[in-house]
Amino acid sequence: MPRKIIIDTDPGQDDAVAILLALASPDELQVLGITAVAGNVPLALTQKNARIVCELAGKVDVPIFAGCDRPLARDLVTAEHVHGKTGLDGPTLPDPVMPLQEAHAVDFLIETLKREPAGSVTLCPLGPLTNIATALKSAPEIAPRIGGIVLMGGAYFQVGNITPAAEFNIYVDPEAAEIVFKSGVPITVIPLDVTHKALVTRPRNDAFRALGNRVGVAVAQMTDFFERFDKAKYGSLGAPLHDPCVTAYLLRPDLFSGRHVNVEIETEGRFTRGMTVADWWGVSGRAPNATFIGDVDAEGFFALLTDRLARL
Ligand code: BDR
Ligand code: CA
């Protein structure tokens, strides 16, 4: 039986690859729905991009919902400087024709978690945690029904990308992140410490392109586009595939390693808004609330991803 998941996302090229990897893996993952949130680009674009990506994969039956258009308590910060004006700059892809669902993403989350057997649905947030936190706030009774949350966000050794102290997804809506990290739901965190090891080097990009299908070429073009930012900033070898690490973790947790630690979200710091204060060394005495991933077998990750994208 495939594991039931809901992907909460703000596509974003790396979100797109994460979605494609999930849609390419129906034996292991059943995507109940995709919920869009404002993040890399505004909501009107993230929900559209989610539909573009499903159509690229030929999976037009996946229900897609629009969610929150701004963080709980702050103005929206976006990342066009990384992802381009559309959020999916790189390939030229047709406007989607598949519909956006009428229901709000938060209502879909709550209704699905109440309907499905307790513990059977895993949430996979790939953007700011606004939708998930809003669902937990409006219907706290869903918390014990969530099987787990596997999210991309935060950093410990790499500290920050959007500020010196904070990773983008957590920085955009730290109040939402705080609600999620205090929810008691089993959480797995895939931080920058891991995703900065999942780099699309030139041979890896060539391998996507060489798949010869539409998806392989589009993924190569997406990573061609958004590698510019990280190459210039970090001098890295290519684009970091942040969000696909979440999907890969669901498929092959053996490729990853981490520690069960306490993670607190900084919501008040003058310079440290959105910092994930991960007690990697166990010095705080605070109870562990998350599995914080620290390492990935990058070769294994890219072998898995390339193999799966070939199936679309
Ligand atoms: C995260 O921020 C976004 O720009 C990416 O899509 C990823 O989810 C990395 O910090
Ligand atoms: Ca994202």
pLDDT at 237: 86
Atom of ligand 1 nearest to the CA of 168: 10
Q: In sequence order, which ranges of the chain are alpha helices (DSSP H)?
A: 13-23, 43-56, 80-83, 105-115, 130-138, 168-172, 174-181, 192-195, 202-210, 214-234, 244-251, 298-309
> Which ligand minimizes its atom distance to the CA of 190?
1
pLDDT (tens digit, 9 = 90+) per residue, 70-88?
Answer: 999 999 999 999 999 999 9
Atom of ligand 1 nearest to the CA of 12: 6
Residue-range definition of the domain harbouring residue 146: 3-309
Residue whose C-alpha is closest to residue 149's, from 179, 123, 128: 123
pLDDT at 229: 85
Query: How far away, in angstroms, is 285 Cα from ligand 2 center?
Result: 32
Q: Which CATH number fits the domain that encloses residue 159?
A: 3.90.245.10
> Which ligand minimizes its atom distance to the CA of 82?
1
Residue whose C-alpha is closest to residue 258's, from 296, 309, 228: 296
**CB-based contacts of 272: which residues, under 8 Å, 6+ apart?**
163, 165, 166, 266
pLDDT at 121: 99
Number of domains making up the chain = 1
Residue whose C-alpha is closest to residue 280's, from 159, 116, 144: 159
Residues with CB under 6 A from ligand 1: 12, 14-15, 40, 79, 82, 126-127, 152, 161, 167-169, 242-243
Taking 70 as the pLDDT cut, the residues of the chain under it are none
Query: Which amino acid is present at 311?
Result: R
pLDDT at 228: 84
Atom of ligand 1 nearest to the CA of 240: 9
The total number of residues written for the chain in this structure: 312
**CB-based contacts of 133: which residues, under 8 Å, 6+ apart?**
72, 173, 175, 176, 177, 179, 180
Residue whose C-alpha is closest to residue 196's, from 308, 293, 281, 280: 293
Cβ-contact 245, 296 below 8 angstroms: yes
Cβ-contact 146, 140 below 8 angstroms: no
The residue nearest atom 4 of ligand 1, judged by CA position, is 40
Question: Cα(91)–Cα(11) distance, rounded to whole angstroms?
Answer: 14
pLDDT at 227: 85
DSSP 94: P
Location of structure tokens 């904070």:
166
Beta bridge partners of 31: 5
Query: How far away, in angstroms, is 283 Cα from ligand 2 center?
Result: 31
Q: Compute how many other C-beta atoms are within 10 angstroms of the C-beta atom of residue 230.
A: 19
